[in-house]
Amino acid sequence: MAPESILLVHSPLVGPSSLARLADAAARTEHRVSLPDLTSMAVSDSPHDAFCQLAVDAGREMNSTPLVVGHSGAGAFLPAIGSGIGNVAGLVFVDAVVPPAAGAHRTSTAMCEMLDAVTEEGLLRRWIDWWPEETIVELLPDEADRARLDADMPRVPRSFYDHDVEVPPGWSQNRCAYLMLSDAYEPELHDAAERGWPTARLDTDHLAPLTKPEAVLRDVLQLARQGASTG
């Protein structure tokens, strides 16, 4: 059975516009949907806590049992968000980081080196400015889509990625699933499959929640149904 409500968690590096069309697509299928704006965490004294708490508050306000769907870097925080809500239909990672089954997620050395290269006065450049213009145009050919993504993108402190993200004990034994959108997340897909999670791949790109929301939603709901039948 498909979940009645869906909590969408955007990456720390972008804003809710990255998942807004996915939210609209879910609402058209008569799901209750919440897409909280988590960007204020970038100016918080405790950005990890703020990011999770904003998402947890949104999930609790739904007064239901939401499916929690996280994109990209939000994956590191899904276990804590799910635990904070307390009663969720499952966790679906969409082209997302997969934290370890126990302990804490730690930013890789390669990622830290990349972050250092895009840091100015302690703040990361906005994610859209990390890449050559032609790369962004290839991902988002429509100028209006680029403007939409650009409009709510935060400047995140570089220190955000210096702190480990603790995970609750036993979190990965819950109903979890993984949807891969881009080849860069092949290792995460493999990790999820090794854990026995339902997995799927959609031959598209990292920003498909914005450009191909109906296809992403279809696969998310199918994975949720698979998770429910095996959970």
Give pLDDT tens digits for 46-81.
Answer: 999 999 999 999 999 998 999 999 999 999 999 999
Task: Flag whether pLDDT at 128 surpasses 60.
Answer: yes
pLDDT confidence of residue 227: 66
pLDDT at 35 > cutoff 70 = yes
User: Which contiguous run of DSSP H or E holds residue 7?
Assistant: strand 5-9
- Contact status, residue 37 vs residue 16, Cβ threshold 8 Å: yes
Question: Model confidence over 170-182: pLDDT tens digits?
Answer: 898 779 999 999 9
pLDDT of 228 reads: 60
Q: How far is CA 169 from CA 23, 75, 136, 165, 174, in A?
A: 30, 16, 38, 13, 11
% of the chain surpassing 90 pLDDT = 92
Which pLDDT score is estimated for 230? 53
| Mean pLDDT for the chain overall | 94
Whole-structure pTM value? 0.96
pLDDT at 2 over 90: no
Rama region for 68: left / alpha / beta (φ>0; ψ in -120 to 50; rest): beta
pLDDT at 229 > cutoff 70? no
SS3 category, 80: helix
Tell me what pLDDT residue 174 has.
74
pLDDT band at 147 (very low <50, low <70, confident <90, very high): very high
Mean pLDDT of 1-18: 91
CB 152 within 8 A of CB 17: yes
